[in-house]
């Protein structure tokens, strides 16, 4: 267990160093920073089916995540066990803990879409708050075998184990039932969801080969 943790931390540090070098050289776009007064905290409520953005002013913004949908490409239907080219799936509940970008106030929310026995399909939604009264919602777009047809589409993640912002870059860790794990990197891009830049296996295992896009 300790060796696995050290391996994962080493991988995170290596990617962070690479991203820092790219950022300092102008290779990565930087998202616009927001005043500290505009940075919310997040409380998960109702068993993970909703969340609340808590603002320094005392205002609160409740959101029902079960209204969120995403088009998932090339996934197996749990009911028929058939491969479906594109399916619209809704968020069922939040997996773990949302994370807030301390520079922009954007909130990354890991959600469960579907679960078949011990196999999970999950996704990450990005909340871009427009003050305490409104917000925009983006989907983190994970690439795959086919080009993504539109901004509301993605390939599914496995079981999300953690999210972390580092200098405007979102690190997404996920794994499968075999114990394999990987981390994807999404630097700042044209939208708050960023843009996929790479993936590294952080824990070898039987299913490690399917955790990173080819």
Is the distance from CB of 71 to CB of 151 less than 8 angstroms?
no
Domain that holds residue 197: 2-210
Which pLDDT belongs to residue 81?
84
What is the rounded distance in angstroms from the CA atom of residue 123 to the CA atom of residue 114?
A: 10
| Domain tally, the chain | 1
Q: What's the CA gap between 199 and 105, in Å, rounded? A: 25
**What confidence score (pLDDT) does residue 20 get?**
37
Over the stretch 154-196, which tens digit does the pLDDT of each residue have? Answer: 999 998 999 999 988 999 999 888 888 899 999 999 999 999 9
CB atoms within 10 A of CB 29: 13
State the DSSP string of 48-78: GTEEEEE-TTS-EEEEEGGG-EEEEEEEE-T
State how far the Cα of 110 lies from the Cα of 7, in Å rounded to an integer.
23
Tell if the pTM clears 0.75, that is, is over it. yes
């Amino acid at each position: 267990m300790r060796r696995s943790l050290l391996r994962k931390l080493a991988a995170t540090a290596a990617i962070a160093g690479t991203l820092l070098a790219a950022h300092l050289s102008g290779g990565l776009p930087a998202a616009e920073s927001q005043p500290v007064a505009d940075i919310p905290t997040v409380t998960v409520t109702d068993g993970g089916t909703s969340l609340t953005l808590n603002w320094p002013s005392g205002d609160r913004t409740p959101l029902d995540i079960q209204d969120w949908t995403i088009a998932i490409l090339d996934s197996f239907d749990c009911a028929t066990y058939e491969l479906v080219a594109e399916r619209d799936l809704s968020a069922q509940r939040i997996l773990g803990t949302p994370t807030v970008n301390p520079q922009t106030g954007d909130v990354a929310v890991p959600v469960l879409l579907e679960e078949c026995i011990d196999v999970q399909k999950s996704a990450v939604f990005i909340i871009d708050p427009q003050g305490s009264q409104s917000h925009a919602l983006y989907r983190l777009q994970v690439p795959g075998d086919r080009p993504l047809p539109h901004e509301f589409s993605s390939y599914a993640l496995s079981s999300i184990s953690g999210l972390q912002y580092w200098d405007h870059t979102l690190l997404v860790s996920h794994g499968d039932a075999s114990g394999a794990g990987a981390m994807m990197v999404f630097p700042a891009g044209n939208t708050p969801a960023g843009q996929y830049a790479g993936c590294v296996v952080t824990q070898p295992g039987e299913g490690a080969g399917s955790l990173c896009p080819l």
